[in-house]
Amino acid sequence: MAGGGIVHLVGAGPGDPGLMTVRALELIAQADAILYDRLIPPAALDGARPGCDLRYVGKQPGDAAMSQEQINSLLIELAAGGRRVVRLKGGDPFVFGRGGEEAEALAREGLAFEVVPGVTAGIAAPAYAGVPVTHRDTASAVAFVTGHENPEKKASALDWEALARFPGTLVFYMGIKNLPTIARRLTDAGRSGAEAAAVIERGTLPDQRTVLGTLADIASKVEQERIRPPAITVVGPVARLRERIAWRELRPLHGRRVAVTRARAQASGFASRLRALGAEVVEAPVIRIVPRAIEGELAGTIETIDRYAVLCLTSPNGATLLFDALRATGRDARALAGVTVAAIGPGTAAELARHGIVADVVPERSVAEALVEALESVPVEGREVLVARAAQARDLLPEALSARGAEVHVAALYDTVAEPLSDDARAGLERSDYVTFTSSSTVTMLLEALGTTDGLPQGARVVSIGPITSATAREHGLTVHVEAQRHDIDGLVAALVADAG
Ligand code: SAH
């Protein structure tokens, strides 16, 4: 046996990345080579080491990319050469995954292997559809059955009489094309045509769909709804429980594709909120925040920040970067002890609060006009006021304060620069139901990246965080379908949910 070489036969779960096991993620992160199939979760390989040898060995329906013998030989070759190999399969490797055959081949060669079970689609897809495969009252047993038999076998390997008599739930994998035959064979063999049956397409994925019917009508319903593989078929009274305990498809943004254009560094909180509501998130960042070096004039401003009577922050980014800048000059929140602090809105105030500062002035609506109004009660005449913000921003606030006799300084803490659109992002955008804009710069940068307003998907709804962003969108020829009432992420999410509902 070659030193150190090992193959891990790893289940990647049914599709929802959250259903990958801790062990699977750990092994993916350590692997020298990963041989993967088609039905692994999106982003399953994100944790692989840079330089890891990633090989797709799956089959497209109807054309075999690599035969099972070739896959076995490759596994043997890599492991014998001392590599740590992950053989990554959808669901569980030993449930209709040919993992058993691969283990046999490795054992024959005396090579080390390890098996990491995964969450199988036959249990997970029904669970996400509100169908428990067993139930104390109605199903004391469950059978996992392949609906796609080995085409080389002449007679059916399945005993249809036995399956028809089976006292419990039947779960069919790979059976969409054969569904009419499966349903007929079961009823011919004596299973009642009135028995409940459910088909779950793309189970646990954001666009999961479920069709509920009876053995007698499920095939025609599935045809009508144009259900496509991958799908799981469940036969048994448990299927009907979905009428009472379906949950996943009831989430407010289920099945909606939402594009997020804000900077990647700011997108994760927004994206996870959307995902938790059932949306499929298309990450299409078009801007990037680049902090400016704290040197020269900017360093001088930060070092003497306590000389300002009023400090205005016009974005959560500005708040975060201000504290970074204070730290860079060896100081902290105490530098603001005597300064009146104004935040443009609740999001910026929340970011300040995270750093121990409770803002003195916070308008309800996060727009410069509202901040100008809220500052009316603060004396600024003849006093120094600092506006800390992006280099690229509207001058409304500094101008209004100057007009009131303040001596206004602008500290540009960061630049907002264009982030090139990846091919994945571009493709995702084209299929989006909603495109969200969280600032004017996301609008202009997206249109610049797409080259034209026609680049936005037909029928996609444009969602804007507030009136300034909306105005920019309209100036560029877009129709704004949804505008948030509160101009922050909570407000944006609420507006989206209201529109989808
Ligand atoms: N080893 C896998 C099954 C491989 S066979 C497992 O344990 O889940 C492939 C079949 O699995 C597909 O034809 C389909 O019937 C089922 N399948 C896999 N992923 C699925 C999903 N997300 N939703 C519904 N069915 C799925």
User: 322 in ligand 1 pocket by Cβ < 6 Å?
Assistant: no
Pocket test for ligand 1, best of 92, 119, 142, 173 (most atoms within 8 A of CB): 173
pLDDT of residue 1: 45
For β-strands 434-437 and 482-483, DSSP reports them as unpaired
Angle between helices 346-354 and 316-328 (to 10 degrees): 30
pLDDT bracket for residue 452 (50, 70, 90)? confident
Active-site option among 46, 59, 207, 306: 59
Report the alpha-carbon distance of residue 286 to residue 362 in Å, rounded.
29
Residue type, 139: A
Q: Is the peptide bond before 230 cis (omega within 30 degrees of 0)?
A: yes
CA of 97 to the centre of ligand 1 (A): 9
Residue 277, judged by CB atoms within 10 A of its CB (0-12, 13-18, 19+), counts as middle
Annotation says 37 is catalytic: yes
Residue 273 to residues 135, 184, 279, 460: CA-CA distances in angstroms?
33, 44, 9, 20
Contact predicate 86/115, CB 8 Å:
no
Going from the Cα of 211 to the center of ligand 1, the distance in angstroms, rounded, reads 17
Rounded distance between C-alpha atoms, residue 483 and residue 85, angstroms: 50
Q: What is the pLDDT of residue 150?
A: 58
pLDDT of residue 151: 56
Indicate if ligand 1 lies below 6 Å from the C-beta of 102.
no
For residue 89 and ligand 1, the question of a CB distance below 6 A is answered with: yes
Q: Is the pLDDT of residue 165 over 50?
A: yes
Highest mean pLDDT among 237-241, 421-425, 455-459: 237-241
Ligand 1 centre from 129 Cα, in Å? 15
* Interatomic CA distance for residues 178 and 149, integer angstroms: 10
Which pLDDT tens digit goes with each residue over 37-60? 999 998 899 999 999 999 999 876
Q: Is 395 a catalytic residue?
A: no
| Cβ of residue 12 lying under 6 Å from some atom of ligand 1 | no
- Tokens in use for 422? 């990846």
Burial grade of 26 (CB within 10 A; 0-12, 13-18, 19 or more): middle
Q: Which two tokens stand for residue 437?
A: 């804009």
Euclidean distance between CA atoms 229 and 200, whole angstroms: 9
- Read off the pLDDT of each residue in 292-309 and give the average, rounded to a whole number: 94
Q: Is the pLDDT of residue 254 over 90?
A: yes
Mean pLDDT of all residues in 111-125: 98
Q: Provide the pLDDT for residue 4.
A: 78
pLDDT tens for residues 415-428? 999 999 999 899 99
Pocket test for ligand 1, best of 9, 36, 37, 39 (most atoms within 8 A of CB): 39
Q: Is 231 in the pocket of ligand 1 (CB under 6 A)?
A: yes
Those residues whose C-beta lies under 8 Å from the C-beta of residue 413, and which sit 6 or more positions away, are 291, 292, 298, 317, 318, 321, 322, 325, 388, 389, 390
Structure tokens at 381: 């005449």
Q: Ligand 1: which atom is nearest the Cα of residue 208?
A: 23
Please report how many Cα atoms fall inside a 13 Å half-sphere around the Cα of residue 69, on the Cβ side: 0
> One of 16, 37, 92, 433 is an active-site residue; which one?
37
pLDDT bracket for residue 453 (50, 70, 90): low
Average pLDDT in the chain: 93
The band of 2, judged by pLDDT with boundaries at 50, 70 and 90, is very low
